[in-house]
Amino acid sequence: LGVLLWEISSGRPPFSDCPRDLIKDHIKDGNREEPIEGTPTEYRKLYQECWDVSSQPNTIRNSYDNDDLTISSNYPSLNLINNQNLSTVLDKEFAEKENTSRAQIPYLQNEKQVLTDNLTEQLELELNQNFIKEETSQGQSALITNYRMDDDDKNRYVQLKRDIEELQNKLKCYVTTLKGDFEIDFKEVNNLMGKYNIKTKITSNQPNKPLIRGVLQHHIKTITKDIRKYFKENLNEHSIIHLEKEIATTAKDLENKLAYFFKTRNGDDTITQPASIKVRQDVNIALGNRGFSDVLSNGNYTSHVYIIMKTTELNREMNKYRIIKDVNKKNNVEKLAPYLIREFIRIFQFRLKVQEPSAQMRWIKTESSIDPSIMGGNWDKDDIDNLEVEICSFPMIGCDLDDVYNRKIYSCSELESDHDSYNGED
């Protein structure tokens, strides 16, 4: 019943983003999905109690303060629950709370922005298509500049958001829930937390696993730092292994020179000004699609040397902090490492640059104040003013991030707050 109620509020089955081989382990270990942000508190408590084996009641009854909703069923008879009526009543209560709580305003503004962005995107696509038809009919197709990709191209705004969410979910599966057949090296984890200026100390008696998971996810950001270092190094040019680096650096140089050329040369054509943007977009589309894929060597495709090297390093580093006892589970988890490394590079190093203007990523600093319009986490809205960021587990992504009023958020940052430390959640 608890799983059913969670699925109603989330709109998807539990653990739908994890590999099928790992789902049974999640269930066997007693793991559960995190509550969905925005779910009414009483409703969330209800399904958490339902899926807690130690506290499952024979009869589940939950009465809201305004007596508008009463849920009563003889467990495990699920037929007594009318899903449609339940959803209707919950929607009504949630709407009433939104209207009476000022704390909901940032969330509503964010939803409004998403809807506005989607509508604007559709209008721009239609205008762009009309513009192309007009230019072509006049024999001027050579002047057309593609600021927006084709409708099915994965570099577009909506698909980019989906791929970022997929990367977040795979990252959580790789770090794991730390429950069941796992051991935690608390000494190593505390050393890592000290490196990121986290004051909380964890022990076997107070493990605070949500914080540990957040720290380990944050630690994987070294992937993005390593790739930037890789591009800056003077590696052997004209080598097939370093082809991505050579393409990226050459394209960046051409982009800068075209922009400078436009500023310093007189003319009234419509091609020169967007030429640098076109170079940046097209090159990064190609790199975002095929960068660090398997490499053709002696007639066969083999894994990219950089991916092989970083996969070994990442798995070795993560195994310092959490030890997976089950061999099959360990192998399944470690198989996610090449995907994570490749997608981190493709999204953060290449695909963000396809957007116009280029998108940005930003890690929220420790001890920053909570801003629900750009941050996601598990906290009570009434406590937000008293909370601080303890660790950012995934960066904020968007355009014009410093402009509070006009910024466009593709993905809110994911974080753990000091609220979770106080709770000592396991």
How many other CB atoms are there within 10 angstroms of residue 251's CB atom? Answer: 18
- Three-class secondary structure of residue 413 per DSSP: strand
What are the residue ranges in the chain where pLDDT is below 50?
59-82, 132, 135-152, 420-424
Q: Is 113 left (phi over 0), alpha (psi -120 to 50) or beta?
A: alpha
> What type of residue sits at position 53?
V
Residue 209 CA, chain-centre distance (Å), reads 20
In this prediction the pTM is 0.63
Sequence-separated (6 or more) residues with CB below 8 Å from residue 418: 200, 387, 388, 390
Residue 72: the pLDDT is: 41
Task: DSSP for 259-279, please give it.
Answer: HHHHHHS----SSHHHHHHHH
Q: How far apart are CA 291 and CA 52, in angstroms?
A: 45
Q: How far apart are CA 249 and CA 275, in angstroms?
A: 17
Q: How far apart are CA 228 and CA 226, in angstroms?
A: 5
How do the domains of the chain map onto residue ranges? Answer: 2-99
| Start-end of H helices in 196-334 | 209-219, 222-232, 243-264, 272-290, 305-318, 327-334
